[in-house]
């Protein structure tokens, strides 16, 4: 009889031993924090969205006795300022911010951990600065190709969640629904604050509703937090309509050769609707050296038990690298 693998649980909650703000441009200041072991193996946690921000739960994937755990809120979200700002906020400025933070903290190389949009940013950072990355831990792979965007925001995921999708399209007149991304972008960057907030809530609720294999009302309720929703929706939509400002339609995967020497773990929920398995499979084919785990009973969320356990195990694997 085959043995059943027992995956680890999240580590207990901890508080930061250091918090700060780093001025990264004339306009933007980013929030960062450090927790765990100040002399430990440095790891940077890159959150999803873009625009999602970090939370205390994000510290819990890492052994606090082994890791120097670094969280940062990307431009325009969380505690970073100015709030929900779109100007001077691109994939490339975020990559620069990660490097600026590394230098500011006096770190030579670190483990890079990211899920969803955080996987996009982790991969892009590693491809630009492979000499600064000890290892990569990635979840819910997203590379911001046009087909990934249209699957979730136009036609694809809508066939699996027609009830939630109907709520998503409701703020948009039927005549504009042939390009939902463009229609949302006009409203989220417009001057009507009431319309902007209504669209931000609908945009955020659509993603929160589809994040787990089993619909979770507590996750959906996050979209009702206006502070979260407005930054999340505005920044996501801005990045997506601009294709991440990438240098080509397949930029992340086309540059995967640059990271094949870096130890890595890819964790993917088989029933991920937000970032479907196909993208993770495409990355696996480009980067076969990375350890690849398909979680059979999970969707997109890092907080689903199978995915969380795999992420903790991956972090444990690299704690002494």
Summarised one tens digit per residue, pLDDT across range 213-272 is: 999 999 999 999 999 999 999 999 999 999 999 988 899 999 999 999 999 999 999 999
Q: What whole-number percentage of the chain has pLDDT above 90?
A: 97
Q: Which of 272, 284, 293, 301 is catalytic?
A: 272
What count of other Cβ atoms lies within 10 Å of the Cβ of residue 248?
Answer: 10
Residues 110, 128: Cα–Cα separation, whole Å = 14
Summarised one tens digit per residue, pLDDT across range 93-144 is: 999 999 999 999 999 999 999 999 999 999 999 999 999 999 999 999 999 9
Whether the predicted pLDDT of 2 surpasses 80: no
* Mean pLDDT computed over every residue of the chain: 97
- CB neighbour class for 143 (10 Å; exposed up to 12, middle 13-18, buried from 19): buried
Q: Which of 80, 116, 204, 301 is catalytic?
A: 116
**39: CB partners within 8 A, 6+ apart:** 68
- Sheet with 291-295, strands from edge to edge, namely 18-23, 29-36, 67-72, 41-46, 110-115, 133-139, 264-269, 291-295
Residues 313, 137: Cα–Cα separation, whole Å = 10
What count of other Cβ atoms lies within 10 Å of the Cβ of residue 12?
Answer: 8
Quick check: is 122 catalytic? no
Decide the pairing of beta strands 67-72 and 29-36.
antiparallel
Q: Confidence band (pLDDT; 50, 70, 90) for 5?
A: confident
> What is the structure's pLDDT at 7?
82
Token readout for 282 is: 């495409």
Query: For residue 50, is the peptide bond before it cis, meaning its omega torsion is within 30 degrees of 0?
Result: yes
Summarised one tens digit per residue, pLDDT across range 181-194 is: 999 999 999 999 99
Whether the predicted pLDDT of 1 surpasses 50: no
Strand residue runs (E) in the chain: 18-23, 29-36, 41-46, 67-72, 110-115, 133-139, 264-269, 291-295
Q: Which of 35, 293, 300, 301 is catalytic?
A: 300
> What is the structure's pLDDT at 257?
98
Residues 140, 82: Cα–Cα separation, whole Å = 28
Quick check: is 300 catalytic? yes
Residues 126, 120: Cα–Cα separation, whole Å = 10
Mean pLDDT across the stretch 311-316? 98
- CATH code of the domain occupying 18-145+245-317: 3.40.50.1820
Residues 245, 138: Cα–Cα separation, whole Å = 21
Q: Are 118 and 95 in contact (CB under 8 A)?
A: no
* pTM (2 d.p.): 0.97
Query: Where exactly are the structural domains of the chain?
Result: 18-145+245-317, 147-243
């Amino acid at each position: 009889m085959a043995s059943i693998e027992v995956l680890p649980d999240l580590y207990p909650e901890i508080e930061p031993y250091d918090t700060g703000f780093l001025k990264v441009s004339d306009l933007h200041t980013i929030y960062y924090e450090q927790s765990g072991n100040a002399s430990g193996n440095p790891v940077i946690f890159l959150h999803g969205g873009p625009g999602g921000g970090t939370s205390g739960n994000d510290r819990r994937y890492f052994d606090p006795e082994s890791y120097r755990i670094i969280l940062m809120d990307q431009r325009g979200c969380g505690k970073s300022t100015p709030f929900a700002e779109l100007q001077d906020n691109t994939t490339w400025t975020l990559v620069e911010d990660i490097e600026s933070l590394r230098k500011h903290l006096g770190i030579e190389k670190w483990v890079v951990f990211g899920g969803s949009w955080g996987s996009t940013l982790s991969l892009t950072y590693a491809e630009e600065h492979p000499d600064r990355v000890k290892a990569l831990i990635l979840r819910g792979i997203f590379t911001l190709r046009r087909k990934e965007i249209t699957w979730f925001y136009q036609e694809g995921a809508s066939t699996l969640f027609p009830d939630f999708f109907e709520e998503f399209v409701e703020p948009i007149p039927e005549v504009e629904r042939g390009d939902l991304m463009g229609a949302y972008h006009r409203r989220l960057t417009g001057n009507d604050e009431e319309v902007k907030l209504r669209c931000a809530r609908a945009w955020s609720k659509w993603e929160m509703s589809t994040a787990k294999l089993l619909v979770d009302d507590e996750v959906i309720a996050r979209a009702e937090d206006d502070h979260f929703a407005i930054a999340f929706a505005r920044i996501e939509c801005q990045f997506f309509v601009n294709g991440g400002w990438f240098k080509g339609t397949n930029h992340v995967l086309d540059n995967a050769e640059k990271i094949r020497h870096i130890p890595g773990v890819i964790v993917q929920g088989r029933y991920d609707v937000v970032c479907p398995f196909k993208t993770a499979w495409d990355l696996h084919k480009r980067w076969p050296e990375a350890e690849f785990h398909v979680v059979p009973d999970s969707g997109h969320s890092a907080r689903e038990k199978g995915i969380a356990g795999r992420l903790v195990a991956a972090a444990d694997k690299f704690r002494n690298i």
